[in-house]
């Protein structure tokens, strides 16, 4: 048995599926809650209810899905078995309990003890996950830029939560607050760019190449992106100590990393064999536009809109696109792999519904754009429209995942290959 491909340590479907479905549900709940109170977008972004929304999107949605997907992806990248697949259940418990405590801590009007408890649980879950990845990495038979990016992103997820925890602790202890200063920008930058963008760039490099049959893209843009992000985080940490205005240089590094991400995506697409892009992949690419929009908004000094452009547009679109592909692959393996050759079974793509993919992507994309506009030009109409579109997109995504996981998929006839004669004995 080749490592990473089964055996005693093979990953049960329920482990990643639990993370992915919980993440998609959190995404729905976040936007549905906003739909019931769109005026939240018209007030301060530091309002506890807005922070609850932001943490539902980051901890409930993005972190859950990235951690769930990494359980499957990392062994494939490293060509080895996950050290302890069942630790995933414990990680899931910590992350779920942690996210709920943090979100309800904000909703209850900034209950610090609940936020600290939630942050602690979240950190424990992520540390356990990182330990699992570290021990897996020790048995790796192959390493490269993609695995470096994904493992570093997992480390930055823990660091982001630690910074959030320190931020909350600083509110409880004025002495600690004076010592640390305002680390909210650091918490936000590390989370959005070092954790989420790096994870998306790393996983995207592998998955986009795989799904479009593009095998000629070089690894250097991704490698350079990783080191730019490490350098940007180092600069931000130095700035937190020295207050020397280094955050500007860090911002330039993050922007350059975003540029490299776009270039890497372009290079992969340019060398692809499958010219027609599947709907989920088009959504993934649509996410890149929000990264560009965010850069323009940041240059114009519209910080809240820039952050929401990444949080509501880039991250969800990139994640949703790959989620449909990865989810259908996982579900196929769980439901149909054992029946291969015995009975007619669907292909992986027969498990997805193009219309649901398109609806979720357009809903998420247009919703994120409208919400970004609402932060620039506050209006109740834009707030309601944006949250309604995002809610539609989110529920379509969840419905699609449920169909992929549990639906009755048609076994369509395979592409005719009997007429293909291609081999030379």
Partner 1 sequence: MMQTAIDITEMNASASAEAIIEALKAVYDPELGVDIINLGLVYGLTIVGENVQLLMTLTTPGCPLHATIEQDVLRNLEKVPGVGWIDVQIVWDPPWTPERITEEAKKQLYWL
Nearer to partner 1, 49 or 210 (CB): 210
Q: Minimum distance from CB of 84 to partner 1 (Å)? A: 18
Considering only the stretches 32-40, 93-101, 334-342, 358-366, report the one whose residues sit in contact with partner 1 under the rule CB under 8 A. 334-342
CB 311 within 8 A of CB 57: yes
Interface with partner 1 in residues 254-273 (CB under 8 A):
273
Give the x-and-dash track for 204-223 against partner 1 (CB under 8 A).
--x---xx-xxx--------
Nearer to partner 1, 146 or 233 (CB): 146
Considering only the stretches 148-156, 221-229, 310-318, 409-417, report the one whose residues sit in contact with partner 1 under the rule CB under 8 A. 409-417
Quote the DSSP letter at residue 7.
S
Out of 16, 38, 75, 316, which residue is the one contacting partner 1 (CB under 8 A)?
75
Number of residues forming the site for partner 1 (CB under 8 A) = 43
Q: Minimum distance from CB of 129 to partner 1 (Å)? A: 20
The verdict on 4 binding partner 1 (CB under 8 A) reads yes
Backbone angles phi, psi at 356, to 5 degrees: -70, -40
Out of 329, 358, 362, 384, which residue is the one contacting partner 1 (CB under 8 A)?
329
Give the x-and-dash track for 127-166 against partner 1 (CB under 8 A).
---------------x------------------------
The verdict on 175 binding partner 1 (CB under 8 A) reads no
CA atoms in the 13 A half-sphere facing the CB of 45: 18
Out of 175, 241, 242, 418, which residue is the one contacting partner 1 (CB under 8 A)?
418
Q: Minimum distance from CB of 300 to partner 1 (Å)? A: 40
The verdict on 410 binding partner 1 (CB under 8 A) reads no
The verdict on 1 binding partner 1 (CB under 8 A) reads yes
Quote the DSSP letter at residue 341.
T
Nearer to partner 1, 242 or 418 (CB): 418
Q: Minimum distance from CB of 20 to partner 1 (Å)? A: 16
Closest Cα to residue 314, out of 266, 256, 275, 372? 372
Closest Cα to residue 185, out of 228, 247, 140, 129? 247
Q: Pull the structure tokens for residue 186.
A: 């650091």
Out of 79, 249, 256, 376, which residue is the one contacting partner 1 (CB under 8 A)?
79
Q: Minimum distance from CB of 406 to partner 1 (Å)? A: 18
Q: At what angle do helices 112-138 and 87-107 cross, to 10 degrees?
A: 160
Quick check: helix, strand or coil at residue 271?
Answer: coil
Q: Pull the structure tokens for residue 400.
A: 């699609």
Out of 340, 343, 377, 406, which residue is the one contacting partner 1 (CB under 8 A)?
340
The verdict on 242 binding partner 1 (CB under 8 A) reads no
What is the 3-state secondary structure of 218-270? CCHHHHHHHHHHHHHHHHHHHHHHHCCCCHHHHHHHHHHHHHHHHHHHHHHHH
Out of 63, 72, 265, 396, which residue is the one contacting partner 1 (CB under 8 A)?
72
Nearer to partner 1, 239 or 278 (CB): 278
The verdict on 336 binding partner 1 (CB under 8 A) reads yes
Out of 49, 76, 97, 166, which residue is the one contacting partner 1 (CB under 8 A)?
76
Q: Pull the structure tokens for residue 297.
A: 């908004």
Considering only the stretches 1-9, 106-114, 174-182, 290-298, report the one whose residues sit in contact with partner 1 under the rule CB under 8 A. 1-9
Q: Pull the structure tokens for residue 126.
A: 């992520």
The verdict on 284 binding partner 1 (CB under 8 A) reads no
Long-range contacts of 340-348 (CB under 8 A, 24+ apart): 344/411, 345/411, 346/409, 346/410, 346/411, 346/412, 347/412, 347/414
E-assigned strands of 75-166?
A: none
Q: Is 371 exposed, middle or buried (0-12, 13-18, 19+ CB in 10 A)?
A: buried
Closest Cα to residue 254, out of 285, 202, 217, 298? 298
Closest Cα to residue 357, out of 279, 409, 284, 286? 279
Residue 332: C-alpha distances to residues 227, 254, 337, 355 (Å): 36, 37, 6, 20
Closest Cα to residue 104, out of 52, 57, 46, 167? 52
Considering only the stretches 43-51, 285-293, 313-321, 330-338, report the one whose residues sit in contact with partner 1 under the rule CB under 8 A. 330-338
Nearer to partner 1, 22 or 72 (CB): 72
Q: Minimum distance from CB of 295 to partner 1 (Å)? A: 32
Question: Could you list the residues that contact partner 1 (CB under 8 A)?
Answer: 1-2, 4-6, 72, 75-79, 142, 206, 210-211, 213-215, 273-276, 329, 332-333, 336-337, 340-341, 347-349, 414-415, 417-425
């Amino acid at each position: 048995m080749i490592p990473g491909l089964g055996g005693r340590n093979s990953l049960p479907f329920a482990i990643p599926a639990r993370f992915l479905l919980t993440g998609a549900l959190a995404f729905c709940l976040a936007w549905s809650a906003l739909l019931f109170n769109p005026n939240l977008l018209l007030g301060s972004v530091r309002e506890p209810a807005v922070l609850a929304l932001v943490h539902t999107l980051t901890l409930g949605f993005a972190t859950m899905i990235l951690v769930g997907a990494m359980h499957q992806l990392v062994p494939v990248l490293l060509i080895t078995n996950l050290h302890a697949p069942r630790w995933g259940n414990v990680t899931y418990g910590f992350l779920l309990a942690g996210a709920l405590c943090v979100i309800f801590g904000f909703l209850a009007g900034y209950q610090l003890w609940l936020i600290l408890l939630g942050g602690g649980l979240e950190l424990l879950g992520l540390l356990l996950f990182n330990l699992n990845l570290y021990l897996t990495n020790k048995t790796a038979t192959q390493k490269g830029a993609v695995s470096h990016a994904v493992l570093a992103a997992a480390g930055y997820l823990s660091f982001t939560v630690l910074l959030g925890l320190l931020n909350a602790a600083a509110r409880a202890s004025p002495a600690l607050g004076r010592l640390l200063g305002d680390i909210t920008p650091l918490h936000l930058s590390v989370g959005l760019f070092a954790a989420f963008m790096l994870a998306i760039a790393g996983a995207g490099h592998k998955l986009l190449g795989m799904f479009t049959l593009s095998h000629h893209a070089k690894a250097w843009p991704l490698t350079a992106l990783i080191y730019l992000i490490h350098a940007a985080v180092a600069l931000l940490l130095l700035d937190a100590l020295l207050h020397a205005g280094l955050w500007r240089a860090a911002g330039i590094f993050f922007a350059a990393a975003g540029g490299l991400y776009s270039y890497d995506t372009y290079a992969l697409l340019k060398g692809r064999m499958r010219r027609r892009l599947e709907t989920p992949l088009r959504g993934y690419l649509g996410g890149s536009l929000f990264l560009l929009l965010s850069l323009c908004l940041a240059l114009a000094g519209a910080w809240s809109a820039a952050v929401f452009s990444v949080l509501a547009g880039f991250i969800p679109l990139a994640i949703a696109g790959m989620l449909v592909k990865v989810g259908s692959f996982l579900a196929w393996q769980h439901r149909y792999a054992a029946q291969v050759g015995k009975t007619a079974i669907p292909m992986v793509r027969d498990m997805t519904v193009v219309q649901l993919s398109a609806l979720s992507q357009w809903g998420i994309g247009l919703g994120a754009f409208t919400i970004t506009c609402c932060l620039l030009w506050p209006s109740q109409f834009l707030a309601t429209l944006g949250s309604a579109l995002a809610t539609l997109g989110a529920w379509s995504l969840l419905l699609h995942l449920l169909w992929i996981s549990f639906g009755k998929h048609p076994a369509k006839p395979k592409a005719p290959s009997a007429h293909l004669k291609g081999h030379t004995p």
